[in-house]
Structure 1
C-alpha cells in the first residue's frame, strides 16, 4: 500500500552526521595547512625544489601540473569553506612549490593564500596519508548535506525521520502538471524513505460540478478534470506513489483535457502494471467518498491554488525544479538517506504561476 514505508538508516548526510564530517575533514584541512610546520616527520623529506604556475619540474621526481586535479582540490577547499561558514567562495590556484618528495599547491581562499601539500601523483594529501579521492567525495557529501539543510531551514520546514510530502494539485492545471514533472524524479528517488501523497483540490462550488445528495464537488477545469482527479487518486491508492508518478507523467504528456475520459486508459496501458478494469470498479464504488476526502483535506490545509507543496506540514515556496524539491525534502530528514547525495534533473519548466 502507498502508506507503508520502510525507515532508511543512512550513515550520512545531515544533522549530527554532517558535523562529524565537518570535524573530521575540518581537522584534516587544518592539518594540511599547519601539519608540516608542527609535525615535519609526517611529511616526506624535502629536497630543494622548483616553483612555478604550470608545466614540469626537474626535481627528484618529475611533477606535472594536472589542471583537472588542481581544480578538483580547489573545489574541495571551496566546499569546506561552505560547510564551515555557509558562504560561497572560490579557491583560486595561484602557484606551486615542488618540495622534491611532494608538492605544495597554493590557493587563495576568501582573500588568503594557503598551501595544500599533496603527493606528486595526486593520490594523497599530507600531513598523514589521506587518500585524495575519497576525502574529496566526503567533502562533497558534507556540502550537499549542508545545502539540503539550508534549503529546508530557509523555508522553516521541521525535520522528521520520515518526511511527509503533500502535493495539492489539479489533474489538468498546467502549472500543477509542470510541478509534477519536477517531483516525479524526486519521488522515484526518495519514495522508500519519505511519504508522498497527491491531494486533489476540490471546491464546493464552481461552473461545472458533480452533485451527491446535495453536496457539490467541483474542480476548476470542469468535470473532465474532476473525474480524472478521482482516477489518479485511485491509481495512487492502489499502486503507490512510484506508479502514480509514472502514470501522471504519461497522462500529462499524451492526453488532453478534451480526451482524458478515454485517453486515461491508453496512458495506463502504456505505463503497464495498472489494472484499468479494477480502477473503473473502484471509481464507480468510491468516487464520492474520494471526492469528500479530497475536499476535506483541501479545506483543512487552507489550500486553493495548484500547485501547493507541503513538507512536514509547511508550505514550500521555493523553486519548482527537481533539484529544488529534492534539496528541500532532503533537508527535512533528521538523518538523510544516501540518495540525498544524488543530483536529480527533469525536463519540467520551472513555472511560477498557479491555478485557483
Structure 2
C-alpha cells in the first residue's frame, strides 16, 4: 500500500482508495487541463470530483471548504463527514498532492512516522512487539513511550513485550528479563502495571507488591523457563556468549533472527520492523498505521514529549540511541 493510500486511509477510515499514486496523482487531472493555468473555481470542482470518484465510498459527500495559494500550489481544506484534511492541488489542475513536506524545516513526528511506516501491513487487531533489554536505558525510554498507547488502545492491539537475545547488563538483567516474561504470563494488566512501576522506580520487589503478582506462580514459571532455555547454565558458560562478551538470552531468539533485531529497543508492527520516535504520540501514530480500520482512539492526542532514558520520570530527547549493535 502506497504512502498516498495510507495517508487517506488513516485520516478518513471510510475512504476506499482506488487510485495508485505517490505524492502526485497524474493522468486524471490531465484530461481536464487544456490550459497551463486553470481558473481557481474550475480546479476546485475538479479536485472535489477527483476525491469523490477515487478516494471515498460511493455516495459520500465531499466539499472543499477553503482554498488558498501557498508555495505555488492551491492549499485546500477537504471536508468528508465530520473530518477535515489539508491537501494540495497544482494550479494547472493536473496534479493532486495528499501531503507536502517542507524540506527547509524539520519533518514533524507524525510525518516521519508516516514515511517510515508505509510498508506496515494492516490487521483488524495489530500485533505490536517491543524488544528490549530490561536494564537498557533506551529500552526503558521506549517502554515509557509505548505504555500510554497500550493503555489507550487496550484490547484493540495485541502488545507483546519481548527481549533481545543477549544481555548487556549482567545477571540482574537476565533475572529481570525472566521475571517480566513470567509476569506477562499472568496477563497484560499485571505486566503493564508492573512495567509502569518498574520503569519509574527500578525496584522489582516494590513493583511486585504494588501490582499483587502471584509469587508462587511467578516462582514456578521462572524455574520452568530457566530449565527450558538453560538461561543460568549459559550465563555460566562463557563459551556460549555472544561475541565472547554477553550471555545469550534465548527465549525469543527465533523472533530476533526473523525480524533482524540487533539491539534494544526494536519495534515490530504486524511483522514489520519499524522506526519511531519514542514519545507517546509518535508511538500511537506508528501503531495506528497497522490498523485495517483505525479506531477513534487513533485521533486522540498524547504527549509529544520524549521520555527520559533510564529509570525515573521526566523528559529527554528523542533519537535512535540503543543498547547493542
| Structure ID, larger Rg | 1
What corresponds to 1:281 in structure 2? Answer: 220
1: CA distance, partners of 2:283 / 2:197: 20
Query: SS at the partner of 1:80?
Result: strand
Q: In the superposition, relative to structure 1, how do residues 243 and 76 fare at CA in structure 2: closer, same or farther (>3 Å)?
A: farther
What corresponds to 1:318 in structure 2? Answer: 276
| CA shift for structure 1 position 231 | 0.5
| CA shift for structure 1 position 149 | 12
Query: SS at the partner of 1:191?
Result: helix
Do the aligned residues in 2 keep the contact of 1:202 with 1:294 (CA within 8 Å)? Answer: yes
Deviations 1:128-171 (A, max 9, x none): xxxxxxxxxxxxxxxxxxx7998177442121222111111000
Residue 64 (structure 2) pairs with residue 29 (structure 1): yes
Residue 119 (structure 2) pairs with residue 172 (structure 1): no
Query: SS at the partner of 2:129?
Result: strand
What corresponds to 2:206 in structure 1? Answer: 266
- Of 209, 212, 227, which residue of structure 1 is paired with 2:175? 227
- Of 255, 261, 272, which residue of structure 2 is paired with 1:303? 261
2: CA distance, partners of 1:13 / 1:277: 49
2: CA distance, partners of 1:221 / 1:327: 31
Query: SS at the partner of 1:332?
Result: coil
| CA shift for structure 1 position 76 | 7.5
| CA shift for structure 1 position 13 | 4.6
Which consecutive unaligned segments of at least 5 residues does structure 2 have?
1-10, 18-54, 68-76, 89-95, 102-109, 230-248, 308-315
Do the aligned residues in 2 keep the contact of 1:306 with 1:355 (CA within 8 Å)? Answer: yes
Do the aligned residues in 1 keep the contact of 2:132 with 2:163 (CA within 8 Å)? Answer: yes
2: CA distance, partners of 1:277 / 1:351: 40
Alignment of structure 1 residues 143-154 onto 2, 5 Å = 151=114, 154=117
Query: SS at the partner of 1:352?
Result: coil
TM-score (norm 2): 0.59
Number of residue pairs matched?
A: 224
Do the aligned residues in 2 keep the contact of 1:148 with 1:327 (CA within 8 Å)? Answer: no
2: CA distance, partners of 1:317 / 1:153: 6
Structure that is richer in helix per residue: 1
| CA shift for structure 1 position 184 | 0.4
RMSD: 3.6
Residue 131 (structure 2) pairs with residue 182 (structure 1): no
| CA shift for structure 1 position 223 | 1.0
| CA shift for structure 1 position 87 | 2.6
Q: In the superposition, relative to structure 1, how do residues 277 and 351 fare at CA in structure 2: closer, same or farther (>3 Å)?
A: farther
| CA shift for structure 1 position 246 | 2.5
